[in-house]
């Protein structure tokens, strides 16, 4: 078991030339049988494994990862954490997630560098002010924090936005969630992996599920690149590629399409932006923060067509760059360091699934749209609760696959049944 990180351990290992740190997590051979097998070693799968052990005392838990820990969307996001969701279910879920984030470094004994720098949504019309005020009033009425900043307050806090009177989208004010912010994405995934491993979870890397054997309405076994593995319960947490496993299990279609989302980081700059800033107008979406290394980390809309390619297209690079310079003209001559794309489960109403499935021992965690990173602590928490107790928690009882048939659409944007519109 890995030793506990502390000021003392940093000091001691500093004196001995950093030669005596323990392995961060074991690299076990897969056993043939587990109580719970989680497919997907991303943030959601790892958090699920951690809470299954921590909260529910499940004995034998494995996480199967087809690549390596931290190599998927855990390493392909813009690291924004916020809870400004309005609809019942989403509201409580994301609020719970934010409260887990607030103690996550202590919980995991791993510095996830959660920085509550505030999330600022810039507003460009009186109508936008009304709409967002409604959401942020809902936040305030349900135990969260939300503020409205008028133009003077906004200018004082973020002086270099484009406040010109002739700006294409003149700024009227902003809604702000002060407790929101960013976290270090690698640290979160490594922290959950290390903490789960320390509790005895087997993290099996380079283990791709290649086939699924059914026994009537049960999953009998998983064929993997490292042998056959069986579990009393199986859980899918592979957002981006949920449909492939679903087909492998012989379950047909899902209310999900896979789309790709690009993210960008610039060359490092001196401190420029203290907050997370989001800009959303018809035809443009842009969100930006500055990393601790000084890089401007930002992203925009989906690439607008379905894709499993983990690479982005150039028209969207141009779109995002136009948004960047519309909002922050001072970025005009900043050079990009990297850009990348991740494959997302875009669901039919823009909300996630944590639910039981048509198979009695299979559980589903999917459909994270843009919201997967911020959601991961609560996603693991509620998914573990579902798997351990075989019933959904009250908060996520509507986040199932049958909600469309019931007419219970959880659509924050009101965009309708088109996955690409739920950015």
Partner 1 sequence: MIKIDCPFCGVRDHSEFSYGGDGSIEWPALDASASDWVTAVYERDNIRGKQWETWHHLYGCRQWLLVERDTLTHEIHTVKLAHSGCGQLSR
**Which residues contact partner 1 by CB under 8 A?**
241, 243-244, 247, 252-258, 304-309, 313-315, 348, 404-405, 417-420
Which residue number, 96 or 398, has a Cβ lying nearer to partner 1? 398
Minimum CB distance to partner 1 smaller for 21 or for 305: 305
In the complex, minimum distance from the CB of residue 318 to partner 1, in angstroms, rounded to a whole number: 9
Report helix, strand or coil for 408: coil
Q: Which is nearer to partner 1, 345 or 385 (CB)?
A: 345
Please state, as a whole number, how many other Cβ atoms lie within 10 Å of the Cβ of residue 116: 17
Nearest approach, Cβ of residue 352 and partner 1 (Å):
15
C-beta separation of 384 from 55 below 8 A? yes
Residue written as tokens 């200018």? Answer: 155
**Minimum CB distance to partner 1 smaller for 81 or for 209:** 209
Q: How far is the CB of 254 from partner 1 (least distance, A)?
A: 6
Q: Please choose, from the candidates 414, 362, 373, the residue with its C-alpha nearest in 3D space to the C-alpha of residue 38.
A: 362
Q: Which is nearer to partner 1, 162 or 243 (CB)?
A: 243
Answer for the pair 362, 69: CB distance below 8 angstroms, yes or no: no
Minimum separation from the CB atom of position 419 to partner 1 (A): 8
Residue 300, judged by CB atoms within 10 A of its CB (0-12, 13-18, 19+), counts as buried
Nearer to partner 1, 96 or 241 (CB): 241
Measured distance CA(259)–CA(373) in Å, rounded: 16
Cα–Cα distance between 264 and 357 in angstroms, integer? 36
b/e for 78-112, b at 16 or more Cβ within 10 A?
bbbbbbbbbbebbbbbbbbbbbbbbebbebbebeb
> What is the token pair recorded at 48?
């699920």
Minimum distance, C-beta of residue 315 to partner 1, in the bound complex (Å): 4
Q: At what angle do helices 372-389 and 43-56 cross, to 10 degrees?
A: 40
CB-CB contact of 354 with 379 (8 Å): yes
Q: How far is the CB of 309 from partner 1 (least distance, A)?
A: 6
Nearer to partner 1, 278 or 343 (CB): 343
State the distance between the two ends of the chain, measured CA to CA, in whole angstroms. Answer: 41
For residues 214 and 306, which CB has a smaller minimum distance to partner 1 in the complex? 306
- Least Å distance, CB 76 to partner 1, is 17
Task: Output Rg (C-alpha) for the chain, integer angstroms.
Answer: 22
The least distance separating partner 1 from the CB of residue 208, rounded to whole angstroms, comes to 14
Both structure tokens of 1: 């078991």
């Amino acid at each position: 078991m890995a030793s506990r990180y502390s000021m003392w351990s940093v000091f001691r290992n500093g004196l001995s030339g950093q030669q005596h740190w323990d392995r961060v997590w074991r690299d076990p051979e897969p056993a043939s049988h587990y109580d719970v097998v989680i497919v997907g070693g991303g943030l959601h799968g790892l958090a699920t494994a951690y809470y299954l052990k921590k909260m529910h005392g499940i004995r034998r838990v494995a996480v199967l990862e087809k690549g390596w820990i931290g190599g998927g969307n855990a390493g392909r996001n813009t690291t924004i954490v916020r809870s400004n969701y309005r609809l019942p279910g989403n509201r409580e879920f994301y609020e719970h997630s934010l409260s887990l984030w607030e103690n996550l470094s202590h919980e995991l004994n791993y510095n996830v560098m959660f920085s509550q720098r505030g999330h600022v949504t810039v507003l460009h019309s009186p109508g936008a002010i009304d709409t967002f005020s409604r959401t942020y009033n809902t936040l305030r009425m349900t135990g969260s924090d939300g503020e409205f900043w008028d133009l003077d307050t906004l200018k004082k806090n973020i002086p270099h936005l484009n406040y010109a009177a002739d700006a294409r989208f003149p700024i009227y004010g902003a809604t702000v969630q002060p407790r929101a912010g960013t976290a270090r994405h690698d640290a979160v995934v490594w922290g959950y992996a290390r903490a789960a491993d320390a509790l005895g979870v087997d993290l099996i890397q380079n283990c791709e599920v290649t086939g699924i054997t059914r026994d009537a309405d049960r999953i009998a076994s998983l064929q993997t690149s490292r042998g056959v593995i069986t579990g009393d319960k199986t859980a899918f947490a592979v957002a981006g590629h949920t449909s492939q496993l679903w087909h492998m299990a012989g379950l047909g279609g899902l209310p999900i399409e896979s789309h790709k989302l690009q993210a960008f980081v610039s060359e490092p700059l001196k401190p420029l932006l203290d907050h997370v800033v989001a800009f959303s107008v018809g035809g443009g979406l842009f969100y930006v923060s500055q990393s601790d290394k000084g890089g401007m980390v930002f992203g925009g809309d989906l690439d607008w067509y379905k894709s499993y390619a983990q690479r982005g297209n150039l028209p969207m690079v141009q779109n995002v760059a136009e948004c960047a310079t519309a909002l922050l003209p001072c970025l005009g001559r900043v050079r990009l360091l990297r850009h990348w794309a991740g494959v997302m489960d875009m669901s039919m109403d823009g909300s996630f699934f944590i639910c039981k499935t048509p198979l009695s021992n299979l559980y589903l965690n999917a459909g994270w749209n843009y919201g997967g990173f911020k959601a991961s602590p609560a996603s693991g928490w509620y998914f573990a609760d579902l798997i351990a107790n075989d019933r959904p928690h009250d908060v996520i009882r509507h986040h199932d696959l049958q909600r469309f048939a019931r007419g219970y659409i959880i659509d924050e944007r009101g965009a309708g049944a088109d996955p690409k519109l739920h950015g």
